[in-house]
Amino acid sequence: MAEPEPKKPRILLAGATGYIGRAVAAELRVRGYPVTAIVRERPSVDRPDAAVTEETLRGLDQEAIELTDPEETVRRLESLPFDAVVSCIASRNGVGADAWAVDYRANLNLLAAAKRRGVRHFVLLSAICVQRPKLAFQQAKLAFEKELMASGLRYSIVRPTAFFKSLAGQVRRVQQGKPFLLFGDGSNTACKPIGERDLARYLVDCLQQSSLHNRVLPIGGPGNAITPRQQGELLFELAELPPRFRSVPVAMFDVALALLAPPALVFSRVKAKAELARIGRYYATESMLLWDEDRQVYDADATPAYGEDSLRAFYTRVLREGLSGQSLGDHGVF
């Protein structure tokens, strides 16, 4: 007589209505984990991806908790059963105050509640760009990573490269016959993009595989690294259109920052715009690959690859079906 499978631990999933959080919720359900999904607020019917979100969360226990409030977080989570945490929460735009409130403080509140409950494992979705921190959200993510590593809990810190979604901002431009915009000649940066399903599988693997415990885990998608120019060439090929490119100088960010600097000292909205300009400049000049500190270079070959979903297949799908379920939100600005 076959022995029954061991009971799977209950997972507390934070950020369940986000782009990656939805995919993680679906993967946990496929693998048979009981899940309590923590959301900032109940999904709004006004959101363009509301239908996708509702479908993903159907059948899961849901709790709307303001994780930036430490007292509410601890109080609400004291009564919820969970054995491990997967946190996919992230600030919406990466700007200073929001980044520290969410990427650092909300995760810290979640960690405190988990420790009070005696939870053993915390899986964190971070980002590969924290390797070379120059921005507020990177500093906030790194600060929490340090807290998690020092917490005594078993941890898995996952640092993915670019998401497919973040490379979809110019799909409509190409379909409309407009040129693909490049910073410089479009070959000074590269990434190994990863799809949301593959990243979700990897995050859930962290719950199961001891080789992924107590480690910082940079991860990219399958295949070779790709530059922005190569992304544009691929899009035009799949759209069956002649390639058209327009170069935008990186110096435009420097000009914008110089103009914004004086009023940013006085006005918070201008300060936020300046931070967005710094974020834009960062992504225009830095690769989303593993950084080799000794050689001071990004190393595509050393960047781990995982999964099966390709950028070609993703572009083919969104060119045919549109960007439903791929709401760009604040990524659209880039």
Asked whether residue 17 is domain-assigned, the answer is yes
Mark whether 72 and 143 lie in a shared domain: yes
**Cα–Cα nearest to 161, from 311, 290, 25, 301:** 290
**pLDDT band, residue 63 (cuts 50/70/90):** confident
Asked whether residue 179 is domain-assigned, the answer is no
Please state the three-class secondary structure of the chain as a single string.
CCCCCCCCCCEEEECCCCHHHHHHHHHHHHCCCCEEEEECCCCCCCCCCHHHHHHHHCCCEEEECCCCCHHHHHHHHHCCCCCEEEECCCCCCCCHHHHHHHHHHHHHHHHHHHHHCCCCEEEEECCHHHHCCCCHHHHHHHHHHHHHHCCCCEEEEEEECCECHHHCCCHHHHHCCCCEEEECCCCCCCECCECHHHHHHHHHHHHHCHHHCCEEEEEECCCCCECHHHHHHHHHHHHCCCCCEEEECCHHHHHHHHHHHHHHCCCHHHHHHHHHHHHHHHHHHCCECEEECCCCEEECCCCCECCCCCHHHHHHHHHHHCCCCCCCHHHHHC
Residue 102 burial (CB count, 10 A): 23
| Alpha carbon distance 111, 132 (integer Å) | 25
**pLDDT band, residue 330 (cuts 50/70/90):** very low
Mark whether 132 and 200 lie in a shared domain: yes
- Is the pLDDT at 62 greater than 60, yes or no? yes
Which pLDDT belongs to residue 331? 41
Out of 12-16, 46-50, 188-192, 217-221, least confident range: 46-50
**Mean of pLDDT values over 328-334:** 42
**Mean of pLDDT values over 41-50:** 52
Last residue of a domain, one of 179, 202, 219: 219
Q: Which pTM was predicted?
A: 0.91
| Alpha carbon distance 305, 318 (integer Å) | 23
**Mean of pLDDT values over 184-209:** 96
Which pLDDT belongs to residue 294? 94
pLDDT, greater one: 24 or 94: 24
Spell 278-308 as b/e; 16+ CB within 10 A means b: bbbbbbbebbbbbbeeeeeebebeebebbbe
Asked whether residue 170 is domain-assigned, the answer is no
Mark whether 205 and 252 lie in a shared domain: no
Q: What is the dihedral of CA 266, 268, 270, 275, to 10 degrees?
A: 120
pLDDT per position as a tens digit, 65-95: 889 899 988 888 888 889 999 999 998 888 8
**Mean of pLDDT values over 7-29:** 92
Which pLDDT belongs to residue 101? 94
**Mean of pLDDT values over 8-35:** 93
Mark whether 157 and 48 lie in a shared domain: yes
**Mean of pLDDT values over 164-169:** 92
pLDDT, greater one: 48 or 30: 30
Residue 79 burial (CB count, 10 A): 7
Mark whether 135 and 212 lie in a shared domain: yes
Mark whether 31 and 152 lie in a shared domain: yes
CATH number, position 152 = 3.40.50.720
Mark whether 91 and 212 lie in a shared domain: yes
Mark whether 150 and 241 lie in a shared domain: no
Contact 21, 15 (CB under 8 A): yes
Which pLDDT belongs to residue 269? 86
Mark whether 207 and 92 lie in a shared domain: yes
Mark whether 136 and 234 lie in a shared domain: no
Contact 105, 73 (CB under 8 A): no
Q: Exposed (0-12), middle (13-18) or buried (19+): which is 7, by Cβ within 10 Å?
A: exposed
Which pLDDT belongs to residue 325? 59
| Alpha carbon distance 154, 159 (integer Å) | 17
**Mean of pLDDT values over 140-154:** 97
- Is the pLDDT at 284 greater than 60, yes or no? yes
Q: Where in the sequence is the domain holding 255, given as residue range(s)?
A: 228-301+308-333
If one counts the domains in the chain, the total is 2
Q: What is the percent of the chain with per-residue pLDDT over 70, rounded to a whole number?
A: 90
**Cα–Cα nearest to 300, from 223, 231, 230:** 223
pLDDT, greater one: 49 or 254: 254
Average pLDDT of the chain?
89
pLDDT, greater one: 42 or 124: 124
Which pLDDT belongs to residue 58? 72
